[in-house]
Chains A and B, each alone.
Chain A
Amino acid sequence: MLGKLADLAQAATIDLPLPMSKPLDWEGLKAALPSALAEALDDPRIRVAINGALLPNKTKLQAGAGDEIALLPPVSGG
């Protein structure tokens, strides 16, 4: 989690235990996260990257074991 999303999560990273049977989707991700963070994620300005690659559509997320999911709030610039 970057920026203020890390505050909502009260952590910079969270390890999610995943069932190996199927990939993690968007609803599954939100269900696995603290509720204050999950509620914030539907903001259309929040982007998501998997293993450093931005997703064109975060709601189509499909993540597997070992993948790094980055939750990116709007940038505040340099």
Chain B
Amino acid sequence: MRDIRLLDQMFLPGMLIGPFTQANPGLGGVCTFVGEVRYDEGVEALELTHYEPLTLPGMHALADRAFERFTLMGLLMVHRVGQMRPGEPIVCVSAAALHRRDAIDAVDFCMDHLKSAAWFWKREKRGGEWHWIEPREQDHSDLARWQS
């Protein structure tokens, strides 16, 4: 079961994870990560922009790599675009597998790549003004973990 989506409206991860788990009968384990907009000091809103021809195809290519690299039964990868407020879910990745290590590692792999290599541009609103968020060195070291 493979479900890769971009959403422009708020979503409830629990509404996705239940059906996803049900859709993979016989699984041995399911691992889910949900990322939310942090309550950082002074942040009023976060906005993610994407580029339609690249962003969703890039997420599908990432899912392909996860299926090649790990022994998975299913993968759910849902990412928000548009404006969000602190506390709103921004990303949900869930992997179902016969064995826990594949599920846990697949989620970790997808999250590291979504955070640092997916086609999203992020800006945050502080004091009524928007500020673009630049890539961080940590993102590159997160990716380097998987280059073996």
Interface residues of A (CB under 8 A from B): 2-4, 7, 49, 51-52, 54, 70, 72-78
A8 and B115 CA atoms in complex are apart in Å by 24
Stretch at the interface among B12-20, B98-106, B130-138: B130-138
The 4 closest A-B pairs by CB, nearest first: A52-B53, A3-B121, A78-B114, A77-B115
Asked if B121 and A73 make an inter-chain contact with CB atoms under 8 angstroms apart, the answer reads: yes
Q: Report whether over half of chain A's contact residues are helix, strand or loop; otherwise say mixed.
A: loop
A52 and B134 CA atoms in complex are apart in Å by 23
Contacts of A70 in B (CB 8 A): 51, 53-54
Asked if B133 and A76 make an inter-chain contact with CB atoms under 8 angstroms apart, the answer reads: yes
Interface residues of B (CB under 8 A from A): 35, 48-49, 51-54, 57, 79, 90-91, 111, 114-123, 132-135, 139
Residue in A closest to B57 when the chains form the complex, CB atoms? A52
Number of A-B contacts (CB under 8 A): 62
A49 and B52 CA atoms in complex are apart in Å by 12
**What is the distance, in angstroms, from B32's C-beta to the closest C-beta of chain A?**
16
Asked if A3 and B49 make an inter-chain contact with CB atoms under 8 angstroms apart, the answer reads: yes
Given A4-B132, A77-B135, A78-B91 in contact, is the A72-B51 Cβ separation under 8 Å?
yes
A-B contact pairs, 22 of them (CB 8 A): A2-B51, A2-B121, A7-B132, A49-B51, A52-B52, A52-B54, A70-B51, A72-B51, A72-B119, A75-B117, A75-B118, A75-B119, A75-B135, A76-B123, A77-B115, A77-B135, A78-B35, A78-B48, A78-B79, A78-B90, A78-B118, A78-B120
